[in-house]
């Protein structure tokens, strides 16, 4: 999951529901070494939070707690724009593209499903895609889901 920034759709109610259901929730943290990559660490009501270089709240990194991107069951991620084919435009850092690049590189390693959460008005007719862009499995908005 993620904590909302700059008008992104707010998944906090879903996070609270997951906690209630006994599911383990992880948030992305900026990778301390590798350029523009994400690590995922557990998020509970007791997690100590810090602000990262973008001013976004993230859990204080405890190395032993981190979970590799490929080991997650499901990823709900924010976006700036999407199209009905599952193409995603982010904030332009390539964080999610780099972190989940194994989905297109390693044969047989499909990794977790990536579900984009968005406002319906973030849909565009067709997004230009680049070779490194990792498509979403589906997108859920306030009124529809795609595909």
Ligand X SMILES: Nc1ncnc2c1ncn2[C@@H]1O[C@H](COP(=O)(O)OP(=O)(O)OP(=O)(O)O)[C@@H](O)[C@H]1O
Residues within the interface to Mg ion (CB under 5 A):
97, 133
User: Which of 44, 110 has the CB closer to ligand X?
Assistant: 110
Q: Does 81 bind ligand X (CB under 6 A)?
A: no
d(CA 40, CA 65) in angstroms, rounded, equals 9
User: Closest Cα to residue 139, out of 71, 90, 67, 68?
Assistant: 90
Q: Helices (H), strands (E): how many in the chain?
A: 3, 10
Q: Does 4 bind ligand X (CB under 6 A)?
A: no
User: Which of 76, 98 has the CB closer to ligand X?
Assistant: 98
Report DSSP letters for 30-87, one per residue. E-SSSTT-EEEEE--TT--EEE-TTS-EEEPP-GGG-B-GGG-SEEEE--SEE-TTS-
Q: How far is the CB of 129 from Mg ion (least distance, A)?
A: 8
Q: How far is the CB of 109 from ligand X (least distance, A)?
A: 15
CB atoms within 10 A of CB 39: 23
Task: Map residues 108-147 to x or -, x wherever contact with ligand X holds by CB under 6 A.
Answer: ----------------------x-xx--------------
User: Which of 84, 91 has the CB closer to ligand X?
Assistant: 91
Q: Does 95 bind ligand X (CB under 6 A)?
A: yes
Rg (CA), the chain: 15
Residues making contact with ligand X (CB under 6 A) = 89-98, 101, 130, 132-133
């Amino acid at each position: 999951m993620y904590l909302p920034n700059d008008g992104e759709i707010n998944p906090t109610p879903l996070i609270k529901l997951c906690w209630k259901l006994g599911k383990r929730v992880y948030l992305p943290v900026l990778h301390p070494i590798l350029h523009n990559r994400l690590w995922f660490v557990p998020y509970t009501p007791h997690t100590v939070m810090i602000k990262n270089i973008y001013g976004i709240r993230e859990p204080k990194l405890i190395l032993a707690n981190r979970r590799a991107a490929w080991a997650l069951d499901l990823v709900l991620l924010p976006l700036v724009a999407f199209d009905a084919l599952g193409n995603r435009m982010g904030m332009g850092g390539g964080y999610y593209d780099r972190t989940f690049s194994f989905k297109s590189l390693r044969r047989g390693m499909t990794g977790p499903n990536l579900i984009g959460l968005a406002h319906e008005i973030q849909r565009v007719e067709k997004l230009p895609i680049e070779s490194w862009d990792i498509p979403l499995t589906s997108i859920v908005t306030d009124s529809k889901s795609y595909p």
